[in-house]
Amino acid sequence: MRIRIVDAFTDRPFTGNPAGVMLLDAFPEDSWLQNVALEINHAETAFAHPLPEGGEADWALRWFTPVTEVAMCGHATLATAHVLHTTGAHKGPVRFATRSGVLVAETAEDGTVTLDFPTAPLSAVDVPEGVAEALGAPVRAAFDTGPYVGDLLVELADERAVRALRPDHKALTTHSERGIIATARAEDPAAGYDFVSRCFFPNVGIDEDAVTGSAHTALAPLWSQRLGRAALTGLQASPRSGLVRTEVRGARTLLGGRAVTVVEGELLV
């Protein structure tokens, strides 16, 4: 079985968010999938297998962190679409059957992958007690991101506050199902992005994620409303960093980015 490591939401190796990708004939037992994800030890490992022709989807797709299965993952979906395209395993747009419904990915001639994901249903909430202390910064506003994303989205004062965060990861675990998304408007939109974010997911074994596609299904509608534009670019200001191009289309959000395969090998067990 071939296994690949793909850096997603970047066009350069060793940046963006690395994901494991395995194309299978069928899904083995969950315990095997989880053990492989633990062995790969990236934020997510994607497992996919082809489905019979004529159905609503072309491939079945699941995502595992080193400790659990998750309901939605953008960067590992982009990585899987990249592998299908570059290996010739699938031609044209690909429909993935997932725990979050059917998700579509389309790869352009230049390699850019566009994901069609559900827009997160944002709901304003009171800032939970202890969140600002756990993050180490004042919080301007907070939002619940709905069942598929499962994060608490918080707005900070400015880009510098987001970049300076040094959170108490253990203290963050009590405030959401998956974790915390911290965001602010870009200090200088001329730099090529409209908003910044950082994502902390200690509840699923990821203290800080590098570039999070699923989080941008919540970030995009927030900043689209604030800035008055449907199409935006977000910078995830993690140490590896990466850009996510977003476009809100009502109940769906498009996420765009590139990917680079950096490792390809054979799983021996």
If DSSP codes are grouped into helix, strand and coil, which group holds residue 204? Answer: helix
Checking if the pLDDT of 148 tops 90, the result is no
Is it the case that residue 174 has pLDDT exceeding 90? Answer: no
Condensed to tens digits (0 to 9), the pLDDT of residues 184-197 reads 999 998 999 999 99
Q: For residue 79, what is the enclosing H or E element?
A: helix 74-87
pLDDT for residue 40: 96
Q: Which residues are known to be catalytic?
A: 44
pLDDT category of residue 238 using cuts at 50, 70 and 90: very high
The pLDDT score that the predictor gives to residue 202 is 92
pTM of the model: 0.93
Q: pLDDT of 86-136, one tens digit each?
A: 999 999 999 999 999 999 999 999 999 999 999 999 999 999 999 999 999
Q: Provide the pLDDT for residue 42.
A: 95
User: If DSSP states are collapsed to H, E and C, what string results for 88-136?
Assistant: CCCCCCEEEEECCEEEEEEECCCCCEEEEEECCCCEEECCCCCHHHHHC
Note the pLDDT of residue 193. Answer: 97
Give the model's confidence band at 227: pLDDT under 50 very low, under 70 low, under 90 confident, else very high.
Answer: very high
pLDDT of residue 94: 98
Across the chain, mean pLDDT equals 96
Report, as an integer, the average pLDDT of 30-53: 97
Residue 176 has pLDDT above 90, yes or no: no
Phi-psi region of 146 (alpha: psi -120 to 50; beta: other; left: phi over 0): left
Report the share of the chain in percent with pLDDT over 90.
Answer: 94
